[in-house]
Amino acid sequence: MKHTIIVGYDQSPSGDRALAQAGREAAWRDAAVTVVTGYHAVAVVSPMGYMPVDYQSTVKDIAGKIAGDGVQWLRNRYPGMPVDSAVIAGPTADALAEASRDADLLVLGNRGRGGFSGLLLGSVSMRTLTLASCPTMIVRGKPREPADSIVLALDIEDAADEVVEFAFAQAALRGARLRAVNVWDLDWDGSADQDSTDQDSADDLDTAKAQAVTDIRKTMETRLNPWQTKYPAVRLAVEVADGTPSAVLTDLTEDADLIVVGAHRRGDGHLGMRPGPIAHTLLHHADCPVAVVPRG
pLDDT digits (tens, 9 = 90+) for 203-249: 777 788 888 899 999 999 999 999 999 999 999 999 999 999 999 99
With pLDDT > 90 as the criterion, what percentage of the chain qualifies?
A: 66
pLDDT digits (tens, 9 = 90+) for 160-192: 999 999 999 999 999 999 999 999 876 655 444
Domains in the chain, ordered, with CATH?
Answer: 1-139 (3.40.50.620), 141-296 (3.40.50.12370)
Sign, CA dihedral 157-248-295-225, equals negative
Sign, CA dihedral 73-76-81-85, equals positive
Residue-level pLDDT at 208:
81
| Residue 102 backbone dihedrals phi, psi, to 5 degrees | -110, 15
What is the DSSP secondary-structure string of 198-217? HHH-HHHHHHHHHHHHHHHH
Q: With 90 as the cut, is the pLDDT of residue 147 above it? A: yes
Does residue 121 or residue 251 have the better pLDDT?
251
Residue 6 contacts residue 71 (beta carbons within 8 Å): no
Q: Distance from first CA to last CA of the chain, Å, rounded?
A: 24
How far is Cα 60 from Cα 167, in angstroms, rounded to an integer?
37
Give the number of other Cβ atoms within 10 Å of residue 242's Cβ. 13
Q: Averaged over 245-268, what is the pLDDT? A: 94
Burial (Cβ within 10 Å: 0-12, 13-18, ≥19) of residue 137: buried
Residue 119 to residues 14, 85, 115, 208, Cα–Cα distance (Å): 12, 29, 11, 39
The single-letter DSSP state of residue 51 is: -
How far is Cα 214 from Cα 212, in angstroms, rounded to an integer?
5
